[in-house]
Amino acid sequence: MRPATDHATRRRTLARRAGVALLVLVATGCGSGRAVESKAVIPRSPGNLTGTHWILVATHDSDQVPESTSFTLDIEAGTASGTGPCNRYHLSFTHEGSDVTTGPVASTQVACPSPLDAAEHAYFTALEAVDHADREGTESQLVLTGPHDVRLVYDRADRDAAGLAGTWNIVNYAAPGALTTPVTGTHPTLDFGSDHALTVDTGCNIGHATWNANGRSLTISPPRATLKACPAPPGLSEQDSHILAALPQVASVDRARVDAVLLDGQGRALFVLEPHT
């Protein structure tokens, strides 16, 4: 473990920041991001946060979240934990009313590319600086703030995996070391049928599997896929293999208002999904 110091549009991914300049740089490196719907800001006491689960949707004063990043937050008695695009983390987290006290972040040490590594460190740094919590807007939303413009906005995660039925775009998928975005011009999808049949389109091959949900738990059988050779563009063959390999590793789901994050047994993010339209 190591302490860390440091929508009508298509993309609605998840991400964050701590220093303004740093995450502006990360957002530029990761893509256009996706706008979050604006809401009337009506701060109120967060109530008891123990046992709640969240997905980060915005940071600071921006209404966009950079691509290729996904952060979750699970709050228990005295602690908070979650996943970033590369690593799991935890820290001490207590609150009395709106006043929050946090400790140093500790995380696993999986190496990841520089833009994602910078985003993780910025997020960890912001969490360490949080000293206030509010609930805002008409939706169930948590806002953590602190000095130096620290502002982390989360949507509540719905842990019922049964609600996945339908077709989802794969916005990010797990590649070695971190999440990555689909090859430009490809549109991979997962179709969770009401009969527990799952169809995956990797952008190259079509696969079929079964899925079962029990509360937040989600299991997917190894898919049987066509064996078509993937044409150009470069990277499509790797995308095909990474998506098919990650599906049997899925163990649970975190769902926000729109997006869903599929996680493995250690809580690492494998897929970030958005509804297919």
Position with higher pLDDT, 1 vs 274 = 274
- The rounded distance, in Å, linking the Cα atoms of 7 and 206 is 27
Q: Give backbone dihedrals phi and psi of 143, rounded to 5 degrees, phi first.
A: -125, 120
The residues, any chain, with a CB within 8 Å of residue 206's CB and separated by 6 or more, are: 199, 200, 225, 226
Which SS3 state, helix, strand or coil, does residue 237 take? helix
Q: How confident is the model at residue 92, as a pLDDT?
A: 94
With H, G, I as helix, E, B as strand and everything else as coil, classify residue 131: coil
- Residue ranges and CATH numbers for the domains of the chain are 2-156 (2.40.128.270), 161-275 (2.40.128.270)
**What is the per-residue pLDDT across 254-264, written as a single tens digit (0 to 9) for each?**
887 667 889 89
| Token pair of 163 as six digits | 């609600």
pLDDT of 245 over the 60 cut: yes
The number of CA neighbours under 13 Å toward the Cβ of 107 is: 27
Tell me the three state secondary structure of residue 165.
Answer: coil
pLDDT of 36 strictly over 70: no
CB 77 within 8 A of CB 50: yes
Q: Is the peptide bond before 233 cis (omega within 30 degrees of 0)?
A: yes
- 40, pLDDT greater than 70: no
d(CA 106, CA 121): 11
Bigger pLDDT: 8 vs 94? 94
Quote the pLDDT of residue 173. Answer: 92
pLDDT for the residue numbered 19? 31
Q: What is the pLDDT of residues 79-123, one digit of tens each?
A: 999 888 888 898 999 998 889 999 999 987 777 777 778 888 889
Beta bridge partners of 93: 102
Mean pLDDT throughout 203-210? Answer: 97
